[in-house]
Structure 1
């Protein structure tokens, strides 16, 4: 019997709608509730998505109150301010901190065993703040982190080595942002370490691959204004993993005790949220990159 089946999505924009659309076709939720400060947008999304009910058993509706959303099994935060042209990152964080604080306060008291999934950016900082503001145990608060970046990496490497991306296991770790890094030493295809393949050095320019993965979002934004299908699919998969207690390992934004910071590391995910965080085999250079990413995030997270 599925026990984690009511999902609240905070934010009825393109990302929230893409997430809801993906979840409806998975048929794993009994109900999806939308919450947004713009009721007309919520009603429009509900009306539009309800047309997909003919191929889904999932009921979708507007939450009666924010408190009702706080009683759902899983709460997904997609709402947040977008960065303005020329705006410093610190200003964006401050604006989204206020948004997050207001939302979490409006949902109180949040269900004690709820899992809070952060998708809004900057996701590592906001996951750190959500953990503090919600009062939930650290394991019940996680962010989408570098899951999408890692998916992009596996697809990219699959194309380079002519293999299905599902057979590629590779992680982008650290910040979902400027200081993220690729764990090349831990990357494998069919159980064989990628860096030991005979043609690895000929096929792979690590710097170029890193730039391609980190820069893909900006390419999409430049061409169409926003990204939402990829992150919507990844968020839906994370909800799927929690609802069915799949215990799949994904790179997500979690509190890493040994680093004293919230960033992306591979984590086993199930009903309780994060069940275990795994260490990854890294080269000395990669360890330095991960610590540099942690230091950059900690400098901001310590302000809150």
Structure 2
């Protein structure tokens, strides 16, 4: 299902690598929307918009530089602005620096369209999504974060190389916190309804080593080229497409989970209203302990703001 003509997506931080990658992904995915790039550097936003618009001539979407006031009246507002993560820097250390950035952005966007959906990509995403919801004044179901969607994609790619099954047919999630306390929900992972760990090619696989490889991949990329942007850009564009097109697809995104009383990275169905429903995941006792550790870390960080 394609998006309706006249829809608008604004990317705050659109002059940067992640913002531009997200805009480009929206255009090449054929999303029928006007994409606005907003940045503290007008020149950077204009340059990215002009470049991306050159790719849109045969596609339904358009891209241009926009203002904060225009962005506040958009259907989807994507937040990619924030301090860049440094090599070997844990995401949690970004909180103090990015808190003020989010607060300033929300003030600049107001008045925010009542039906707008906010998608936070900046890190640490679980905490910043909570801050964005509180400072925007929008209902919780309309404010989400990219969560562990990219991490789960990395996991599925690795599992695909092991099992020989397409990553689209592997149902496995990284859960809890997008950061040092995330964990793999092995108990719920499956292929065609059968437990993933029962697959013949999973026998003898070192799950701890596999987890470490997924966990460290972002740091490897950052060390090699300074930042990650292609993968997360595509993830943000896919989530935006789900919001605009009402797909009701399930993604492991940062959303407010009532039973745990906080924003966290957890599977949720995404559509026009944002989070249509947050879904439960079957976990074993050890995974439940890891989940609680992640929840405590998120709540502890959020309590200071």
Q: Which category describes the TM-score, using the shorter chain as reference length?
A: over 0.9
RMSD of Structure 2 on Structure 1 (CA): 1.6
Superimposed CA distance per residue, residues 192-247 of structure 1 (whole angstroms, 9 cap, x where no aligned partner)? 11123345331x21101110111111111111111100000000100111111000
The 1:269–1:87 alpha-carbon spacing in structure 2 relative to 1, beyond 3 Å, is closer
**Residue of structure 1 aligned with 2:35, choices 11, 32, 35:** 32
**How many residue pairs were aligned?**
302
Q: Give distance in 2, aligned partners of 1:51 and 1:2.
A: 22
Deviates more, 1:45-54 or 1:114-123: 45-54
Give the CA deviation at 1:29. 2.8
Distance 1:248 1:255 in 2: 17
TM-score, normalised via structure 1 length:
0.95
Structure 1 residues without counterparts, runs of 5 or longer = none
Q: Which residue in 2 is equivalent to 1:52?
A: 55
2:293 counterpart residue number:
292
Structure 1 CA distance for aligned equivalents of residues 189 and 87 of structure 2: 36
Identify which range, 27-36 or 136-145, moves more after superposition: 27-36
Q: Which residue of 2 aligns with 1:97?
A: 99
Secondary structure of the 1:152 match is helix
Relative distance call for 1:212 and 1:92 in structure 2 (3 A) is same
The aligned residue for residue 177 of structure 1 is 179
How far did 1:56 drift? 1.6
Contact 2:87-2:222 at 8 Å conserved across structures = no
Distance in 1 of aligned mates of 2:193 and 2:184: 18
The corresponding residue for 2:279 is 278
Deviations 1:115-170 (A, max 9, x none): 00000011011001001000000000000000000011111101101111111010
Secondary structure in structure 1 of the residue aligned to 2:40: coil
Q: Would you say the 8 A contact 2:249–2:269 is kept in 1?
A: yes
Partner Cα distance (1:120, 1:157) in 2: 27
Contact 2:31 2:241 in 1 (8 A): yes
| Maintained 8 Å contact 1:25/1:55 | no
Which residue of the partner structure matches residue 119 of structure 1?
A: 121
Task: Tell me the distance in 2 between the aligned counterparts of 1:215 and 1:153.
Answer: 12
Segments of structure 2 that go 5 or more residues without pairing to the other structure are none
Helix, strand or coil for the counterpart of 1:186? Answer: coil
Q: Bigger shift: 72-81 or 253-262?
A: 253-262
After superposing the two structures, state which structure 1 stretch, 128-137 or 76-85, moved more: 76-85
Aligned to 1:74: 76
